[in-house]
Chain A
Amino acid sequence: MRIVVPLKTVPDLVEEIEFTGEGTGIDREYLKFVLNEWDDQALEEALCVKEAAGGEVVVVGLADDPDIEQVLYTAVAKGADRAVRISGGGESTHARSALLAAYLSGSPADLIITGVQAADDLDGQLPPMLAARLGLPHAGVVIAIEAGDGSVTVRQEFAGGRSAELTVTLPAVIGVQAARQTPRYAPITKIRQVMQAGGIEDVTVAAQSGGHGLTIRRMYSPERTAHAQMLDGGADAVADKIIELLRSRGLVKG
């Protein structure tokens, strides 16, 4: 089974966000980029599927994503078999999905597993868009994938703790919310070895335009309409104040 895992990098959420001069985009120049956290979960689940059912895991990134090489090498260090870097990029999911669909049309996969969402996918999430472009079935918010014969059984999660098991005929696209286990760790020494060995395959694809059709008027940091009253002092002073707050509402006896 050939499992393809598209990976993307997103701005690190702990960073201060700055906006472009026109105020319609995020200034990416000084931001640190990290692997999209749901893609990290998707990669883990893909590696678990491979370990259970065999096959090959191919991680795919877009060349224009900042720090994508590091992410691809780390994925190989974790157990991915191959890493592919597609030329081009695009900040919208429409553009990304067009490039990935073009690649996958030429190199078909049995199973495409990727993060259910990303922190910056304003124009929509990748897995359903990719599935729609490829004409494949899709399920998202998945927390477990079990490979069968020509199909997979996935567990799809809903609000309130409900979930459903779906059987999906392959090929298919699955959007992962969380892997069955915490994503594995790749030691730095292993990542360095992989980087030294190189071996990212560069691919160029011809993709149709992937415009998202939205008119972004402005981007801004939300105004703080309200803010918590911050409790001053050390842990002891704060603890006294919290106990007092709870006691005044009858939530602490005595």
Chain B
Amino acid sequence: MANDILVLAEHSGGQLSDSTYELLGKARELARSTGGKAEVAVFGPADLAGQLGAADTVVWVDHPALAGYVPEAYEKALAHVLAQRSPRLLLLSNATIGLDLGAALSVLWDAPLAAYAVDLIVEDGTPVATCQVLGGKVLAEVALDADRAIATVVGGSFGQAAGQADGTAQVVPVAPPASLDEARMSVRRVIEPEAGDVDITTADLLVSVGRGIGSRDDIELVQELADALDAPLSASRPVTDSGWLPKSRQVGKSGLKVKPKAYLAFGISGAPEHLEGMRDAELIIACNTDAGSPIFEIAHYGTTADLFDLVPALTERLSG
């Protein structure tokens, strides 16, 4: 009800996402402050309540249209749940599903939305979000003082442990809305990541390259260093989007999460989406000519040397 914190569960293949646990853990904390419950909405046939013991309530909606994620069907189901449960705050991931649903529900449920949230607290009953603006160069502190609100939360902002705590949630089945019987959108197929390429998630050392490399021809320069170090070459989004390296090498929110013993970043400025995928590396060494790049805030060592000087110097030392 009016003090509850509702989290939308994201799941595929019977597995809940990391973000679901991150949001549920935070929902429990916030609900203690608002005096409400931590509720999780689960859509589809999967029986996931057993994995959501940290919640007070699991609100479950099943319908053939919810067998997998379809933006339109999820939007209808979530709008229906919001109307029935009237939570104080809806928490969504700031990834594909949350990006689809958050802004739409801000209009449909008539609730303000704080996007790109990296922190959430409750002050005198009012949720207050800290949000990234301009790719993380600016933070905004935003009070959600309307009687209902939505926050989409950047992955990795909160720990998962509190959301994975033991307990037993009360399961509340909710009848699906009739609008789900009509669809303007359907899934044709689901495409799993290409297998067969090197697995960058298991490497001890990664050499990673970003937009600063400038051209496809210069990838070879960094590849030579990677070869000399016997490490896979990974990349940030602009490099894989340009087709200079395969998608299987992309580190970040829409790519892979990596946690190597050392991560060497060349020409990567450190957009929040990239940092989300590599901030847990044990040692981060970053090379970027812009001393103000966000990558230097999480790197352990940094240099503003030109990568076109530094990379060959490194390769030479290893091959010498």
**Known: A153-B188, A161-B194. Is A246-B205 also a contact (CB below 8 A)?**
yes
Quick one: which of B137, B261, B286 contacts A17, CB cutoff 8 A?
A: B137
Number of B residues with CB within 8 Å of any CB on chain A = 97
**Known: A137-B184, A162-B190, A168-B185. Is A251-B113 also a contact (CB below 8 A)?**
no
A230-B184 in contact (CB<8A)? no
A interface residue count range (under 10 / 10 to 19 / 20 to 34 / 35 or more)? 35 or more
**Known: A124-B106, A239-B314, A249-B283. Is A219-B138 also a contact (CB below 8 A)?**
yes
B103-A161 in contact (CB<8A)? no
Q: How far is the CA of A165 from the CA of B143 in the complex (A)?
A: 38
Interface: A119 (CB within 8 A) = yes
A228-B286 in contact (CB<8A)? yes
Which B residues touch A177, using CB under 8 A? Answer: 254
B134-A120 in contact (CB<8A)? yes
**Known: A119-B134, A122-B140, A158-B96. Is A129-B255 also a contact (CB below 8 A)?**
no
Which B residues touch A182, using CB under 8 A? Answer: 241-242
Which A residues touch B198, using CB under 8 A? Answer: none
Expressed in whole angstroms, the minimum distance between the Cβ of B166 and any Cβ of chain A is 27
Interface: A166 (CB within 8 A) = yes
Interface: A221 (CB within 8 A) = yes
User: When A and B form their complex, what is the total count of cross-chain residue pairs whose Cβ atoms lie within 8 Å?
Assistant: 268
Q: How far is the CA of A182 from the CA of B171 in the complex (A)?
A: 48
**Known: A119-B134, A124-B106, A243-B314. Is A230-B262 also a contact (CB below 8 A)?**
no
- Per-residue contact bits, chain B 186-219, to A (CB 8 Å; 1 contact, 0 not): 1111111110000000001100000000000000
Residues of B76-103 at the interface with A, using a CB-CB cut-off of 8 Å, are 95-96, 99-103
Q: How far is the CA of A243 from the CA of B300 in the complex (A)?
A: 15
A125-B103 in contact (CB<8A)? yes
Quick one: which of A123, A168, A220, A234 contacts B106, CB cutoff 8 A?
A: A123
Interface: A240 (CB within 8 A) = yes
Q: How far is the CA of A116 from the CA of B185 in the complex (A)?
A: 18
Interface: A128 (CB within 8 A) = yes
Residues of A1-22 at the interface with B, using a CB-CB cut-off of 8 Å, are 10-11, 13-14, 17
Which A residues touch B134, using CB under 8 A? Answer: 10-11, 13, 17, 26, 119-120
B115-A215 in contact (CB<8A)? no
Q: How far is the CA of A220 from the CA of B120 in the complex (A)?
A: 17
Which B residues touch A155, using CB under 8 A? Answer: 191
B137-A13 in contact (CB<8A)? yes
Interface: B116 (CB within 8 A) = yes
B95-A158 in contact (CB<8A)? yes
B71-A139 in contact (CB<8A)? yes
Which A residues touch B301, using CB under 8 A? Answer: 228-231, 241-242, 245
Interface: A206 (CB within 8 A) = no
B186-A163 in contact (CB<8A)? no
Quick one: which of A122, A166, A219, A225 contacts B116, CB cutoff 8 A?
A: A122
Q: How far is the CA of A114 from the CA of B301 in the complex (A)?
A: 38
Expressed in whole angstroms, the minimum distance between the Cβ of B1 and any Cβ of chain A is 21
- Per-residue contact bits, chain A 188-208, to B (CB 8 Å; 1 contact, 0 not): 000000000000000000000
Expressed in whole angstroms, the minimum distance between the Cβ of B29 and any Cβ of chain A is 21
A251-B204 in contact (CB<8A)? yes
Which B residues touch A122, using CB under 8 A? Answer: 114-116, 131, 133, 140, 142
Q: How far is the CA of A28 from the CA of B177 in the complex (A)?
A: 45
Q: How far is the CA of A246 from the CA of B131 in the complex (A)?
A: 35
- Per-residue contact bits, chain A 236-254, to B (CB 8 Å; 1 contact, 0 not): 1011111101100101100
Interface: A68 (CB within 8 A) = no
**Known: A162-B193, A220-B138. Is A213-B111 also a contact (CB below 8 A)?**
yes
Q: How far is the CA of A219 from the CA of B188 in the complex (A)?
A: 43
Q: How far is the CA of A10 from the CA of B285 in the complex (A)?
A: 30
B113-A123 in contact (CB<8A)? yes
Closest to B71 in A: A139
Interface: B309 (CB within 8 A) = yes
Closest to A219 in B: B140
**Known: A162-B191, A162-B193, A228-B302. Is A128-B103 also a contact (CB below 8 A)?**
yes
A161-B247 in contact (CB<8A)? yes
- Per-residue contact bits, chain B 112-133, to A (CB 8 Å; 1 contact, 0 not): 1111100000000000100101
Interface: A66 (CB within 8 A) = no
| Segment touching A, from B40-48, B54-62, B290-298 | B290-298
Which A residues touch B149, using CB under 8 A? Answer: 213
Interface: B303 (CB within 8 A) = yes
A161-B264 in contact (CB<8A)? no
**Which A residues contact B (CB, under 8 angstroms)?**
10-11, 13-14, 17, 26, 93-94, 97, 116-117, 119-129, 131-133, 137-141, 153, 155-169, 172, 175, 177-178, 182, 212-222, 224-231, 234-236, 238-243, 245-246, 249, 251-252
Having A217-B128, A231-B301, one finds 7 other A-B pairs with CB under 8 Å, namely A124-B115, A128-B99, A139-B185, A164-B189, A226-B297, A228-B298, A245-B285
9 contacts between A and B (CB under 8 A): A119-B133, A123-B114, A137-B71, A139-B100, A182-B242, A214-B144, A227-B297, A234-B309, A249-B261
